């Protein structure tokens, strides 16, 4: 079976989406529609902005979403997903690509998500750290033993887990994890503690917007971050999407579930090759490539 996977924050680069804009009238139309919906010219930032400008959460999330979703739409009849999944923000791209959300509704939710997360980051300083070379269970145990908020946030691939929470608690956890034999435990240059209880204000704000949005029957199952299994019921999809901001991204488990259910060919749709790299670390025997117009 063919699985399409959609990247999250961190995959952005200057010039992203320009080839789509220049080579496809449909892409051009969708990008212009996005500029109108967002109320600013995101195409200017995507095509010509600096890395610093692209890094602003209100830009990054819609930019990656647009690149992914417009690429999927431009592929036209070649885009025939039998299963989809997205990493964090990428889950919203996956939901538009498999027909659960309209392009407009998806973009509005992504924009609200970005602004709500930004606001939550400003309430209390918080951070994330990448932990390499330890078993998941060890990382979970250490997080549970630390005073303050620190949790496992992103299960990216075996031996690579991101933790998230209050700055002091994350720093303390990093020290203990190094003592436990982590190859690396280093703070990430992020604005806040995504996928942790620190995102509760953002979850509440986004929940209200999600509740008001129409969720359709999907074309194919979506393997959601929160449950790491196939979901087809729109009400369940909605519930899991609301839970996603404060719950961990179980990416390793999502991919393993897709493979178990017959996923044999994985195609990354969007900027960069982050997910293809993770695929190789999760299961080398499965084909992984990037979608392209050519």
Point out the residues that are catalytic: 88, 195
**Residue 260 in tokens:** 């178990």
Pairing of strands 265-268, 2-6: parallel
β-pairing, 222-223 with 230-231? antiparallel
The Cα-based distances of 162 to 7, 12, 136, 202, 289 in angstroms read: 16, 19, 10, 20, 24
223 class by beta-carbon count within 10 Å (0-12 exposed, 13-18 middle, 19+ buried): buried
Of 270, 268, 271, 262, which is closest to residue 289 (Cα–Cα)?
A: 268
131 pairs with which residues across the strands?
161, 185
Contact 112, 206 (CB under 8 A): yes
Residue 279 near residue 21, CB atoms below 8 Å? no
């Amino acid at each position: 079976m063919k699985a399409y996977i959609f990247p999250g924050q961190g995959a952005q680069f200057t010039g992203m989406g320009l080839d789509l804009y220049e080579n496809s009238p449909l892409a051009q139309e969708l990008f212009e529609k996005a500029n109108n919906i967002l109320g600013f010219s995101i195409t200017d930032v995507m095509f010509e902005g600096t890395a610093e400008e692209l890094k602003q959460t209100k830009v990054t999330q819609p930019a990656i979403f647009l690149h992914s979703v417009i690429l999927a739409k431009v592929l036209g009849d070649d885009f025939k997903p039998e299963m989809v999944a997205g990493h964090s923000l990428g889950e919203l791209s996956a939901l538009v690509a498999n027909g659960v959300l309209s392009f407009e509704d998806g973009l509005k939710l992504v924009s609200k998500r970005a602004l709500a997360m930004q606001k939550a980051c400003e309430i209390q300083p918080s951070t994330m750290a990448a932990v390499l070379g330890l078993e998941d269970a060890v990382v979970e145990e250490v997080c549970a033993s630390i005073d303050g908020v620190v949790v496992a946030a992103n299960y990216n691939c075996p031996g690579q887990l991101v933790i998230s929470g209050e700055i002091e608690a994350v720093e303390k956890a990093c020290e203990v994890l190094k003592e436990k034999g982590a190859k690396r435990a280093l703070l990430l240059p992020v604005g806040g503690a995504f996928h942790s209880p620190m995102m509760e204000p953002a979850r509440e704000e986004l929940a209200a917007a999600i509740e008001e949005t129409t969720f359709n029957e999907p074309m194919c199952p979506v393997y959601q971050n929160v449950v790491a299994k196939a979901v087809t019921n729109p009400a369940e999809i909605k519930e899991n999407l609301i839970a996603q901001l404060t719950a961990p991204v179980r990416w390793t488990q999502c991919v393993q579930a897709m493979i178990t259910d017959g996923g044999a060919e994985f195609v990354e749709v969007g900027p960069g090759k982050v997910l293809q790299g993770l695929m190789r670390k999760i299961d080398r025997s499965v084909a992984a490539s990037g979608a392209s117009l050519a």
